[in-house]
Structure 1
Amino acid sequence: MTRPPPHAVRRRLAMAVLIGVVGYVVVDIVLQALPPHYSPIREAESKLAVGPFGWIMNLNFLGRAVFTFCAIGAIGLTGPASPARRAGLLLLAIGGVSLGILAFFPTDVGPTGVSATGVSASAENGLQPVTTAGFVHLAVASLGFLAALAGECVLTRWLRHSPELAAVRVSALVFAGLAGGGLLGIVVTSALAPDWLGLAERLCLLGILGWVFVVSLAIRRVGEPGRPEPCGWPDEAVRNSR
């Protein structure tokens, strides 16, 4: 059986990422509208995995882990290899593994309604865990966010040396900056304004997912008419002559 050429594998992986990102966002939106109707402004995304439809969010976490590794594969087949690319892909892999772990360790959820219960918003969002699963979830989620952001920042610098993806560098930089701002917002809101933690987390997610989407879209388009071929790959005529 003939193995598909690298550019075909790369395009398929990139397409899987594009479909995965859209699917992940759609599932998030649908779950947000279902009971128990968590607030996207106040409450962390992880709470969507707690409740009658929590199993769907756990599958969503696993799906995101899968398309993260698809993105790693697509990037690994594009542009020049370098220590920066290897480091960035390793960090993304840590983020992907973290997502898989989250599906099996639900966050701690305190009772809602601060005025009625006296429970702080931080406790409601699992930032003050009391169970082993809650501690694992908070630690792994924090590691995942940091690793994903660091990986995207490293790879954004690497894009300067990849002629095929140079055009997407500005967009990647914008989304990496948005993710960084959102992560800083998570730190600030968790300490000073926990009622806004959900919004800060979703801004960070928008940056992380947006980065993966625009880079994968650019990878998908590499080799189209008017766009450069991947560095080091023989063109079609050379391949056919072998």
Structure 2
Amino acid sequence: MPHREADTLTRSLLAAGAVGGFGFIIVWLVAGAIRPQYDPLYQPVSALSLGPGGWVQITNFIVTGILMVAFAIGSRRGLTPGRGATRGRILIGAFGIGLIGAGVLVMDPSYGYPPGAPPGIPTTQSVRGQLHDMASLVVFACLSAAAFVFGRRFATQPGSRIWAAYSFLTALLVAAFFIAAGAAWFGGGPGGLFQRVSISAGWIWVGLLSIRMLRRPNSPRLDSR
């Protein structure tokens, strides 16, 4: 493949991270705002996959997952070798695969949505519902781990201390608010709000990381570890 075509492909793959990161948030914000009897403070984003119009969030999961896998492939072409380069892109790829799984494996009706569904965390789950929860765990665990790995990478690069701190903070926020959401749902609290903080922190970080890679294609080469 000619160099110019390869460069265009790489930039397109890297841009997928920004499209997926910001686009995912916009879709669930709009869908949650216009869905009748949906409470974004309490009910999870995945509940938007249920009921009338559920196909929108299902598509959002799957398309965003594909975009994140594309971003991971692009980062393989766009990142210089060094600390965390391989692990970081593998984690982002796994994050994308988890999103695809969360879209294909729709959650069970629960948390009071759709209207008439049992309130709170379901006491019994279908196999599909269990697999959805496993996919969700992969999503948040891999995203938090990716932010931590990139934080360590940035910490070794001159002039990247702010990005290192931002990445470490993102890793903490994604994990902490994911756990807080689960605890809140067990107690009937605002789990939806906490989950949205976790999602917003992580997906925005991915979007900004994508933009950073597009703007700085020739980062300093570091020793591989």
**Coarse TM-score class (shorter-chain normalised):** 0.7 to 0.9
1:215 aligns with 2:209: yes
Q: 1:190 aligns with which of 185, 201, 204?
A: 185
Residue in 2 aligned with 1:51?
51
Residue in 2 aligned with 1:147?
142
Distance in structure 2 (CA, Å) of the matches to 1:34 and 1:47: 14
Q: 1:8 to 1:185 in 2, by over 3 A?
A: same
1:181 aligns with 2:176: yes
Residue in 1 aligned with 2:60?
60
User: Secondary structure, in 3 states, of the residue corresponding to 1:77?
Assistant: helix
Which consecutive unaligned segments of at least 5 residues does structure 1 have?
224-228, 233-242
1:130 aligns with 2:119: no
Kept in 2, the 8 Å contact 1:149–1:208? The answer is: yes
Distance in structure 2 (CA, Å) of the matches to 1:117 and 1:100: 27
Distance in structure 2 (CA, Å) of the matches to 1:52 and 1:95: 27
Greater mean deviation of Cα atoms: 143-152 or 2-11: 2-11
Residue 107 of structure 1: how far off its partner (Å): 0.5
Q: 1:23 to 1:152 in 2, by over 3 A?
A: same
User: Over residues 200-219 of structure 1, what are the superposed CA-to-partner deviations in whole Å (9 max), with x where a residue is unaligned?
Assistant: 11111012102101211211
Which consecutive unaligned segments of at least 5 residues does structure 2 have?
none
Amino acid at match of 1:92: I
State the percentage of identical aligned residues.
Answer: 19
User: Over residues 37-82 of structure 1, what are the superposed CA-to-partner deviations in whole Å (9 max), with x where a residue is unaligned?
Assistant: 4211100110000011111111100121122123313432344424
Residue 137 of structure 1: how far off its partner (Å): 0.8
The TM-score, its normalising length taken from structure 1, stands at: 0.78
Residue in 1 aligned with 2:73?
73
Greater mean deviation of Cα atoms: 201-210 or 164-173: 164-173
Residue in 2 aligned with 1:30?
30
Distance in structure 1 (CA, Å) of the matches to 2:143 and 2:8: 26
Tell which has more relative contact order, 1 or 2 (C-alpha 8 A, sep 6+).
Answer: 2
Residue in 2 aligned with 1:159?
154
Residue in 1 aligned with 2:120?
121
Residue in 2 aligned with 1:230?
219
Q: 1:76 to 1:106 in 2, by over 3 A?
A: same
Kept in 2, the 8 Å contact 1:92–1:152? The answer is: no
Amino acid at match of 2:94: I
User: Secondary structure, in 3 states, of the residue corresponding to 2:64?
Assistant: helix
Greater mean deviation of Cα atoms: 51-60 or 87-96: 87-96
Residue 162 of structure 1: how far off its partner (Å): 4.1
Q: 1:5 to 1:83 in 2, by over 3 A?
A: farther
The TM-score, its normalising length taken from structure 2, stands at: 0.83
Distance in structure 2 (CA, Å) of the matches to 1:198 and 1:187: 9
